[in-house]
């Protein structure tokens, strides 16, 4: 799977699964644009990619703001002249809260990042891909997009929307023959996303407001995963790299779940 000569944009590339995707693409020879809302994180990962012997660009961008996406796209094209691969990895979640208590502002924020950010990044990238009738768009969804999680309703719904957006965009871009759109649905993964998003981490933190338990700690997750472990960022990145490759050229509109079968519960 050689990506030599190709340019990959990784949103949310400054940590976790996004970082693993950036490094994985770099190892395969791609030039990598690392987009992240935290500029220092983006710069750190871009330096790691450069250490692999390939070009990299760090861009601070909040994907909930379309003007920042447009500016980041222009900067990436100015640097690398083309976009071959887009990995929409940027995402967020609210602290656990019942849907009936989720405010309009909270819902808007989740959808601004998790759906609208994916939507607009894909729009800008696809416009360049259409010129060459070639490209790969991979959206990071979640098993929460098909299996509801108590207290995480807004996040679950946003990821379900990402999965269906993937299918709709794949259908629209199919006439260009060489452009595919897919999603990857990670299960519980060892990243700092849960901590940064306010999601439960310890047995004490997993007590929901209604006195029920959210499966948030590592031991509980392992018990519910037939393969017996929490996923690593590299597990999801491997699926992303495959879907971005020429070998996956006849796969489009799909969501590949990387969850150790946790999504079957």
Q: Tell me the C-alpha distance between 3 and 1, whole Å.
A: 7
Q: Which of 111, 73, 88 is nearest to 17 (CA)?
A: 88
| pLDDT at res. 205 | 40
Residue count of the chain: 265
| pLDDT at res. 84 | 98
Residue 207, token pair as written in the block: 């007590």
Q: What is the DSSP secondary structure assignment for residue 231, as one 8-state letter?
A: B
Identify the bridge partners of residue 139 per DSSP, sorted by sequence position.
88, 183
Domains in the chain with CATH codes? 7-199+232-264 (3.40.50.720)
Based on the residue annotation, tell me whether 155 is a catalytic residue of this protein.
Answer: yes
| pLDDT at res. 229 | 84
Decide: 158 and 234 in contact? Cβ < 8 Å: no
Q: Tell me the C-alpha distance between 253 and 129, whole Å.
A: 17
The pLDDT tens digits along the chain (265 residues) read 799 999 999 999 999 999 999 999 999 999 999 999 999 999 999 999 999 999 999 999 999 999 999 999 999 999 999 999 999 999 999 999 999 999 999 999 999 999 999 999 999 999 999 999 999 999 999 999 999 989 999 999 999 999 999 999 999 999 999 999 999 999 989 887 544 444 443 333 433 333 333 344 555 556 678 888 889 999 999 999 999 999 999 999 999 999 998 876 4
| pLDDT at res. 261 | 85
Check 155, 176, 250, 257 and give the catalytic one.
155
Q: What element of type H or E holds 60?
A: strand 56-60
């Amino acid at each position: 799977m050689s990506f030599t000569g190709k340019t990959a944009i990784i949103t949310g590339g400054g940590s976790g699964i996004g970082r693993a995707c950036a490094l994985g693409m770099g190892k395969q020879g791609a030039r990598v644009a690392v987009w992240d809302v935290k500029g220092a994180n983006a710069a750190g990962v871009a330096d790691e990619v450069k250490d692999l012997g390939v070009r990299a660009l760090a861009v601070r961008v909040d994907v909930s703001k379309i003007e920042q996406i447009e500016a980041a796209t222009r900067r990436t094209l100015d640097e690398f002249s083309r976009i071959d691969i887009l990995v929409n990895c940027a995402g967020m979640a609210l602290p656990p809260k019942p849907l009936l208590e989720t405010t309009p502002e909270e819902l808007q924020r989740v959808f601004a990042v998790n759906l609208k950010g994916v939507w607009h990044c894909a729009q800008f990238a696809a416009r360049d891909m259409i010129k060459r009738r070639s490209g790969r768009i991979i959206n990071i969804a979640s098993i929460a997009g098909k299996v509801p999680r108590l207290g995480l309703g807004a996040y679950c719904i946003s990821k379900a929307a990402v999965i269906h957006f993937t299918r709709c965009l794949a259908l629209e871009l199919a006439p260009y023959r060489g452009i595919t759109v897919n999603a990857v649905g990670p299960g519980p993964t060892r990243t700092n996303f849960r901590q940064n998003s306010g999601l439960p981490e310890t047995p004490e933190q997993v007590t929901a407001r209604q006195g029920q338990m959210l499966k948030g700690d590592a031991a509980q997750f392992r018990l519910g995963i037939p393969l017996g472990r929490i996923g690593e960022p590299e597990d999801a990145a491997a699926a992303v790299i495959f879907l971005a490759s020429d070998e996956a050229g006849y796969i489009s509109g799909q969501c590949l779940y990387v969850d150790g079968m946790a999504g079957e519960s």
